[in-house]
Structures are given as C-alpha cells and as structure tokens.
Amino acid sequence: MRPAVQNLFSALPARLQDELIDVLVRAGAVRLERIVSLGHATPPGEWLDQEHDEWVVLLRGSAALAFEGEAGRVEMRPGDHLIIPARRRHRVEWTDRAGATVWLALHY
C-alpha cells in the first residue's frame, strides 16, 4: 500500500486561539511536531524550559525568540533553523500577525 502524501501547508487555519501543535512522528525519545502560530507569543514573564534538545526550523511567516540571560532577540525568517539545548530557557517574543507562521520542531 502506497503511503498517503500530506502537505505541511494544507488546512492552515485563519484564526487560532492557541497555537496548533500536530505531532507528525513519534519514535522512542524523538518527536517531530508541526506548529502553527498566528500572532502567538509566550506569556510575559514565562519561560519555556524543556527536558530535551530541540531543533526548530521556520518554514513560513516570521518570529522572534529570546533566551534568558542574553540581550536582544533572535529573529527568524523562512529557512532559518537553530538548536535549543535542553534546559535552555527561552520564549517566543512574537510571531507574524499577518498570516500563519509554520514551524517544524524536532525534540530529541
């Protein structure tokens, strides 16, 4: 049986109350997610602190991340990617309000 082809940009919502996170692959300690953001950001004063390393790539839209203890923001555009080491406190400062920001996040 031939696998079904899916598209990362299909059925993108025009409005979202919360970010949309779809787990695409899960195998042991590895998880690949598609994240769709529409003007979302980490709430003020909160930090993300994960137990696993994360590789993230921005496929569509734009966003800015901040890392605790570092001045400034890391702005991301389509094609930009980075590794966030485990326990590295970070936050999403903003995502594009004009359209969907689509990420792939590989947790390992």
pLDDT in tens, 48-106: 999 999 999 999 999 999 999 999 999 999 999 999 999 999 999 999 999 999 999 99
Residue 30 to residue 27: CA distance in whole angstroms: 5
CA distances from 59 to 49, 76, 86 (A): 23, 10, 22
With cut-offs at 50, 70 and 90, classify the pLDDT of residue 14: confident
> What is the model's pLDDT at position 11?
85
Fold of 20-107: Jelly Rolls (2.60.120)
Beta bridge partners, 78, equal: none
- Is the pLDDT at 23 greater than 90? The verdict is yes
The DSSP symbol for 2 reads P
**Domains of the chain: which residue ranges?**
20-107
